[in-house]
Every structure is written in C-alpha cells, then in structure tokens.
C-alpha cells in the first residue's frame, strides 16, 4: 500500500493549475506558513483569511509576536477559538528569538520540538517553506488516503494514521515532485474535492482512477471515524452590570478554558431574579433595574454552555466595590477587549465591536 509516484505527479500538476489564491501562499516567508497553519487548525478557511491579514499586519514577524502584550494577542485571535494556540504561538516565538535568532528552523526534528508545533505543522512548515520531503498529514489528508486505499479501520486510531502516513513515503522520492506543492495539493484536494461533509466530487478528482473507495462506490462510509464522547452541558447565568457609560467585565483565570480572556461575570448555574438579587447584594446595594436578556448557547469541543443573562443597571459603576479580577470599561474600551466569541450574543446585543 503506497502512494504511486505517477499519482503524486498528477496531484501536484492539478494543484499548480487549480489552487486558490490565498494570502499566505507563495509569500516565501516561513512565518506566514506557520501562522496560517496554526490558524487553520479546526477553523474554517473563510474565517481565517481576514484574521490572518490583520494579525500579520500588526505582528509582521517573529520578534513582534514574541513581544506582543497578552491582551492584544488575544484580541487579535478573537473569533478563531482554541485560544491556547495563540498563547503557544507567542511562547514559541519567544523561544525562536532566544535560541534561533528569530527564525524558524528548517529541520523537521527541530520544528516538532518547539512549543505548539506538532507533527502536522512541522511537516507543513518544513515542506512548504523549505522544500523538505516530509509529510504534513491532517484530517483532510487522512480522509483522502483512507478512501484511496479503502481503509476500513478507525482513522482516529494512531496506528491507522501512522500506516496511512507511511503510504506517502514513495511519493517524495520522485525528482518530479516538489514536496511543498504536493502537500498543499493533498490539503487542497481534501478541502475542495474529497470533502468531509456531503458527496465528494470524485469526477473532478485527479486521483479518481486509483481510488478504491470510488471504484467500489464506498466514499459514503469511508473513512470510518469512531463517535466522539458526548459533550458535557453546563448552565451559566451571566450578569451584565452596567451604567450609562460603562460595563463590568472579569478576567478569567490564567489556566483552563478561555484562560486569560475577559468575560461578563457569571454564575455556574441558572438563577431566578430574586436569587440573583440576593447574591449581588454584597457588591451592588442598589440596583436600578434587573432585566432578562436573550438566552444563548455556545458549543466548545467538549462542553456546551447554556447561558441565560440579566442586565443589571446601576447608577454609577465607579461607586461599586468590585472584586479584584473585575474592571469597568466604556463601550469604546470594550471594543478593544479580548472577549471570546462564546459571548457573541451579548457582544452583538450591545454592539461592542470595532471590527
């Protein structure tokens, strides 16, 4: 079971003729490859394009990324989710400045040892930025290979992934293949043709003649992926305290879900108005109005938040005794705060966005 060199040539030629014009492609800058690949992990390409352009405009190189303030970094990353990726980017940039002269190494083995850079990203940077003949295997590539070789075992199993990745080794031996173009061809094929949802566009695929799943009409059940664990549902009550000019927001702990980001203060259960008034009495002796806002739900990979929210209107936030991790910001200041998209319903409700 191996990827034929003639198929690798077909795929590379298909990519060079049909690939999309994306802002991080063909820039010749390893930094751009790295940032884009981290952003694209578990995030739609349409959502990444604008965020990537803003990010590299404000942080054009590794040195500026290493030095950026955490709050600003989180604000730049807002909307992409999985915020630990941004924290690892900065951590990695600091290592690169300290130990590598502010540059990404060319060698796969060195890349994969850096913070936040796993085998896929190391392979992408090494092959696309430096032309190294190493694979970059993500979910898109696994799906293609599983269909190509009619692999029925669970592609979430590490042994299955290793076996499928090994099939690529002969492809890199061909002198006709540029590793970066070949790897990007696999990625592009998985995003445009051999798609994860809906019917694959097999008649447009350069590998159709070799694809066993296509030949046996089994693209609908290949690849096999075991079901994920059921997400845990958590109830939350958000308390949006404001006066005519300011809102209260709270900084989350430096570890755990949405670490270091800002949020509207909340309680880990659903509350009725009287219960909420009792809990708030310690901090807010006089409430002008308590008003129920629309409910919201946010889905993380392993948790669902089922949120209800109350607007708590006060005369002047500056007169309140707020907890140490809470601050009061104007509407204009809120537009620049790193508030995750989990709270988008309420961000949009108050129009707390600058872009």
SS3 assignment for 274-343: HHHHHHHCCCCCCCCEEEEEEEEEEECCCEEEEEEEEEEECCCHHHCCCCCCEEEEEHHHHCCCCCCHHH
Asked if pLDDT for residue 307 goes beyond 70, the answer is: yes
With 0-12 CB in 10 A as exposed, 13-18 as middle and 19+ as buried, what is 97?
Answer: middle
- For the stretch 308-327, pLDDT in tens is 999 999 999 988 888 889 99
* Residue 353 confidence (pLDDT): 60
Task: State the average pLDDT for the chain.
Answer: 93
- For the stretch 19-59, pLDDT in tens is 999 999 989 899 999 999 999 998 889 999 999 999 999 99
Domains (ranges, CATH) in the chain? 5-215 (1.10.340.30), 232-350 (3.90.79.10)
Q: What is the pTM of this model?
A: 0.83
- For the stretch 269-286, pLDDT in tens is 999 999 999 999 888 889
What's the whole-number mean pLDDT along residues 293-309? Answer: 93
Asked if pLDDT for residue 157 goes beyond 90, the answer is: yes
Six token digits for residue 353: 């966005």
Place of tokens 């995030």: 43
Among candidate residues 16, 37, 58, 78, the one labeled active-site is 37
Give strand pairing partners of 298.
305
* Residue 354 confidence (pLDDT): 46
- For the stretch 64-122, pLDDT in tens is 999 999 999 999 998 888 899 999 999 999 999 999 999 999 999 999 999 999 999 99
Query: Among this protein's residues, is 37 annotated catalytic?
Result: yes
**Closest of 274, 290, 276, 282 to residue 242, by C-alpha:** 290
Q: Is the peptide bond before 223 cis (omega within 30 degrees of 0)?
A: yes
Report d(CA 169, CA 147) in Å as an integer. 18
The C-alpha R_g of the chain, in whole angstroms, comes to: 24
With 0-12 CB in 10 A as exposed, 13-18 as middle and 19+ as buried, what is 240?
Answer: buried
Confidence bin at 198 (pLDDT 50/70/90):
confident
With 0-12 CB in 10 A as exposed, 13-18 as middle and 19+ as buried, what is 36?
Answer: buried
| Contacts of range 161-165, beta carbons closer than 8 Å, 24 or more positions apart | 161/137, 163/1, 164/137, 165/135, 165/137
Largest alpha-carbon pair distance within the chain? 76
Give strand pairing partners of 232.
303
Q: If you count DSSP H runs as helices and E runs as strands, how many of each does the chain have, helices first? A: 16, 7
HEC string of 178-222?
Answer: CHHHHHHHHHHHHHHCCCCCCCCCHHHCCCHHHCHHHHCCCCCCC
What's the whole-number mean pLDDT along residues 191-200? Answer: 92
Confidence bin at 355 (pLDDT 50/70/90):
very low
């Amino acid at each position: 079971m191996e990827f034929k060199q003639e198929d690798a040539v077909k795929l590379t030629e298909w990519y060079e003729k049909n690939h999309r014009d994306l802002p991080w492609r063909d820039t010749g800058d390893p930094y751009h490859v790295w940032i884009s690949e981290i952003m694209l992990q578990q995030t739609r390409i349409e959502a990444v394009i604008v965020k990537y352009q803003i990010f590299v405009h404000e942080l054009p190189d590794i040195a500026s990324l290493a030095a950026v303030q955490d709050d600003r970094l989180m604000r730049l990353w807002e909307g992409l989710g999985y915020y630990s990726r941004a924290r690892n980017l900065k951590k990695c940039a600091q290592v690169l400045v300290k130990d590598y002269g502010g540059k990404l190494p060319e060698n796969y083995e060195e890349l994969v040892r850096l913070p936040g850079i796993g085998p896929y990203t190391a392979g992408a940077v090494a092959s696309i930025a430096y032309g190294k003949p190493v694979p970059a295997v993500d979910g898109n590539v696994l799906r293609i290979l599983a269909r190509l070789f009619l692999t029925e075992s669970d592609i979430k199993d590490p042994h299955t992934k290793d076996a499928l990745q090994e099939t690529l080794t002969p492809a890199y031996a061909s002198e006709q293949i540029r590793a970066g173009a070949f790897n990007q061809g696999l990625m592009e094929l998985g995003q445009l043709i051999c798609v994860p949802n809906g019917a694959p566009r097999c008649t447009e695929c350069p590998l159709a003649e070799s694809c066993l799943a296509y030949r046996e009409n089994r693209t609908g059940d290949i690849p096999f992926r075991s079901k994920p664990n059921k997400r845990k549902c958590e109830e939350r009550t958000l308390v949006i305290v404001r006066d005519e000019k300011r809102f209260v927001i709270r900084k989350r702990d430096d570890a755990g879900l949405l670490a270091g980001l800002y949020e509207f203060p909340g309680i880990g259960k659903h509350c009725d108005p009287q219960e909420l008034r009792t809990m708030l009495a310690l901090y807010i002796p006089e409430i002008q109005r308590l008003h129920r806002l629309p409910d919201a739900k946010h889905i993380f990979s392993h948790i669902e938040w089922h949120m209800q929210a109350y607007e708590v209107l006060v005369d002047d936030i500056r007169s309140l005794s707020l907890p140490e991790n809470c601050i009061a910001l104007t509407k204009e200041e809120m537009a620049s705060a790193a508030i995750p998209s989990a709270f988008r319903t309420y961000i949009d409700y108050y129009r707390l966005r600058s872009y």
